[in-house]
Amino acid sequence: MKITPHQRALGFALLSGLLGLHFVVRYLQHLPLGAPGSDIDQL
């Protein structure tokens, strides 16, 4: 089965999104919300 460019991009998106999720969970586990290094509170 040949992977189409769209399917490949979706795969990349899924992996990147999960990576993002991982970093958010790690952040929440290790730091209090809004600790230095986080800009989300500013936004």
Catalog residues that contact another protein under the rule CB under 8 A: 5-6, 8-21, 23-24, 26-28, 32-43
Which of 2/6 has CB closer to another protein?
Answer: 6
Q: How far is the CB of 39 from another protein (least distance, A)?
A: 6
Which of 2/42 has CB closer to another protein?
Answer: 42
- DSSP tag of 2: P
Which of 1/41 has CB closer to another protein?
Answer: 41
Cα–Cα distances (Å) from 32 to 21, 22, 41, in that order, read 17, 16, 12
Q: Map residue 9 onto helix, strand or coil.
A: helix
